[in-house]
Chains A and B, each alone.
Chain A
Amino acid sequence: MPLQLKLAIRNVFRNRRRTLITLAALAFGVAAIIVFGGFVHSIYWGVRESTIRSQIGHIQLYRAGYSEKGTIAPYDYLIDDYQALRAELLKLPHVKAVTGRLGFSGLVSTGDTTTSFVGIGVQPEGETDLSSLAVIVDGKELASGDPRGITLGVGLARAFGVKPGDDLTLLTTTRHGAINALAVKVRGVWESGEKAYDDRFLRVGLSEVQRLLDLEGGEVQSIVLLLDATEHTARVRAEVDRLIRERGLPLEVRTWEDLALRYHQVRELFGRIFAVLTLIVSIMVVFGITNTMTMAIFERTREIGTIMALGTRGRGVVSMFVLEGIALGLLGGVAGLLLGVGLAKAITAWGLQLPPPPGSTRGFAVQIFVVPEVLVQAFRLSLITAALASLYPAWRAARLNVVEALRHV
């Protein structure tokens, strides 16, 4: 080992108590980043997966032009050859389920009370996978064998006071503008945890909706793909794009990243909070290291004078103290990694419950993910900040007057 390094490491452990306090501060800072970073990533994951698995799937296909003008004239942008396309899409690797959807809205009535709703016509098989996070809390899922059975959000069901087995009437306009009604029966009540969704939405079998809207050709508005894992989205999207190109289909593709607006908002918000935390920890590290180094330099003034007298140049003195800073950063970083990962696992195992976040009805258990990139970031912060924080005291040490330093007691 080079003598400079040996010197730095031994000097680090010279004042054990002070070093331990400094290392503890570093380790807690690093652990805070790891735990909070891991928590934030679990939130990202939760929001992403709940959005994908309760509403939007991984990939959606529409008739070209739909995302621009579809909201005004939804029935002008329908996909015709849905069944054939579905069969093709199901053959792609990583695709777990493919389901067509038809969005519509109107009024729902019990006979006594009437309210507005947003309906989705879904294909019962496949939709069960896709809506795995919208859990049936009462009754049953949609089934092809029960075309008139519908499911609705828990908020809507409660507002209406309906339960499985009750009759409802759906009122809407067909693609041609005529009023049409459909008598249905409540089959199940689900809860997604997202209040806006649970209060307004209901689900109806696709074939019934097609009939209700006068779409006898079996058209759908969108085709939703659910994959085996979110990480495969880009790869499958490329396959879908290729398929569309080869067949010359008039379709456009959107992935969950394009559609999950809330996910991006959450990322933005937590990303900023995380940046502030990182800044606070950095400042803490800077103060801790600067303080430790300044005290060390004061105590070792005569020693600095001695090594300078022996012919050590200023930069040799600087590198000695910066090496000490790096050694502190390294040790604090390692201790912080162990502490942070340990805390992350302990908190996750503990299963601490948090209240529902805004816009949600369900509380959730805190999960702290151990994210490799957060570990690297926290460790790097400790190392780099410690090295930088030791620069100024080191530079001051190098500028000591040798004669005065030698006289220092």
Chain B
Amino acid sequence: MFSEQIELRGHIIDSLILPKVLDEILTNGGSFSIREINIGKQRHDASYACIDVFGPSPEIVDALVRRLRQHGAEVVEQKDVTLVPAPADGVFPTDFYVTTNQQTFVHLRGKWIEALPATMDCAIAVDVEKQTAWTVKFSQVRTGTLMAVGHHGIRVVPVQRSTDRKSVFEFMASNVSSEKPKSAVIREIAEEMRMARKKGGKILVVAGPAVVHTGAGEHFEKMIEWGYVNLLFAGNALAAHDIEQALYGTSLGVYLEKGALADEGHENHMRAINAIRAAGGIAQAVAKGVLRHGIMHCCVQHKIEFVLAGSIRDDGPLPEVIIDTLAAQRAMRTKIEGVTIALMMGTMLHSIAVGNLLPAHVKTICVDINPSVVTKLTDRGTFQAIGLVTDIEPFLRELTEFLAKKEAGSVAVSA
């Protein structure tokens, strides 16, 4: 995304020049954000508007601005971003710019440079010679790294609503509470996932152990088998209880089939963790035939990348679990590139952590039985998030049923 800032002055409201300019931007493949607008108070007072014009290429933006100049638009000379070296390792300079999850550019030597990846609650580091900018967490900054400060020469591109298909993320005005019907929304989510898969977008699933506890593991495995999961982020618990279920048929000591407590069932997850530790890890356990079922088995079999991030309450943990939280965060950041849909189920901890890493354009679906968790996760200043208050199992059952119809449809077509 490339951009230019323009100004309009005069009787731009009475003359309909402002709406005309905005319409021209949209109809010529651009988008805009009104930075400032002052409407004249008296009839003869001039009005003023300052508008950021965005386009997919520098050529489109140039052509757009040329057109807009005919209507009186003047290009604003941009100042370069102010850069200050970081005073110490892990410390940002005072007045550092705090990023949002939206696409952000810094103006450097007359050009707009995108700060990658779009991640909220970061600062922006800049390499003047290489003309690059990137978002950094505290842990990534070193003494002397040049950092963006203040707000001059920094531009944020808001996520534009798509003009083509009306997606579920746009028509949803609020989260789906436990009292509302969910089928239509789940069907739309299935359609979004199918579209993402077709277009090569990555689907990320962030899952808590409730997926296993509620007996939804088999649905999840189907999604993996059908190619609707490209990346899994979870904690120790999901993997531990999934493996417990695979090895002993219980989750937290409860038989999933019968719903009854197993004798000495509380030991099962500890024994499961030990079995995997003994094998050297999940992948090794699969290779050795120790682990033959379940979500983690399915991930290994289908070569689905996963990141298991540890927490202070973990038992074990399993060997794959990254116990250094900063290392876990880095591992997640390196893998989220290309993600277009994030499905977050039954985990507040991991969902918030991942939500903080995702750019605003990623469509996010939050499913939790606790309404406050859903609200917390979807209320992220982007319309690209929907939330459903429901148990995980009925949600995933219905989702996989819709996906199964799609699968059947595509088989029929290919046959």
A and B associate = no
**Residues in chain A within 8 A of chain B (CB atoms):** none
**Residues in chain B within 8 A of chain A (CB atoms):** none
